[in-house]
Amino acid sequence: MFDMTSFDPTPMPLDPEVQVCGIIPSKCSVFPSAMCPLKLTFKVTQHTKDLELPSVDEGLYNVMYKVGDDVRQDQLVLQMIDLMDFLLKKINYDFKFTVYKVLAFTPDDGLVEFVPRCKTISDILHKYNSKIDRFLTQCSLETQTPYETVFESYLDSC
């Protein structure tokens, strides 16, 4: 049996810049949903850490492996959003998008990249009693960024 906790550096299919060198079983899990997707946590190489990619958090790279779900349309839509974001930034329109990657292997399975430290609107509204300004204030304090800047970034992303 092959030991997956440590292996030669291998580029991730989702993002070849990310070189992984092992899986951390204690951080892997099964999501409690109908299709039971897997969360896989990979160790990255020092070279990948040095690149300071937004998808790498504390030397770890997380993906969701989905079976029984066709992620091809997700992949196409996110590629289009990424392209639009790139083109808009060229003419000084930055909507503060963080586009995650999706890679369909077949019509029935694929990988979805995690965005580190992201929260869903639903989670935010629940935690802050439907007051988005409380969340923005907390972000401002945690990042030591002026509230106005945080608020403008939020508005730009809408």
Per residue in 105-127, pLDDT (tens digit) is 999 999 999 887 788 888 899 99
**Over residues 61-83, mean pLDDT:** 95
CA distances to 89, 125, 136 from 133, rounded to whole Å, are: 27, 10, 5
Pairing between β-strand 60-67 and β-strand 102-106 as defined by DSSP bridges: unpaired
DSSP line for 68-96 = S---HHHHHHHHHHHHHHHHHHHTT----
Structure tokens at 70: 């066709």
User: How confident is the model at residue 1, as a pLDDT?
Assistant: 67
Three-state DSSP at 109 gives strand
User: How confident is the model at residue 39, as a pLDDT?
Assistant: 94
Orientation of helix 147-157 relative to helix 132-143, angle to 10°: 120
Candidates 41, 35, 54; CA nearest to 108 is 35
Distance CA 40, CA 47 (A): 20
All domains of the chain, ordered by start, with CATH?
Answer: 1-118 (3.30.1010.10), 119-158 (no CATH)
Query: Would you say residue 54 has pLDDT above 80?
Result: no
In the chain, the percentage of residues whose pLDDT exceeds 70 is 99
User: How confident is the model at residue 40, as a pLDDT?
Assistant: 95
- Residue 106 Cα to chain centre, angstroms: 21
**Over residues 56-77, mean pLDDT:** 93
- 10 confidence band (pLDDT: 50, 70, 90): very high
Give me the sign of the Cα torsion angle 26, 27, 28, 30.
positive
Residue 42: in which H helix or E strand, if any?
Answer: strand 38-44
CB atoms within 10 A of CB 5: 11
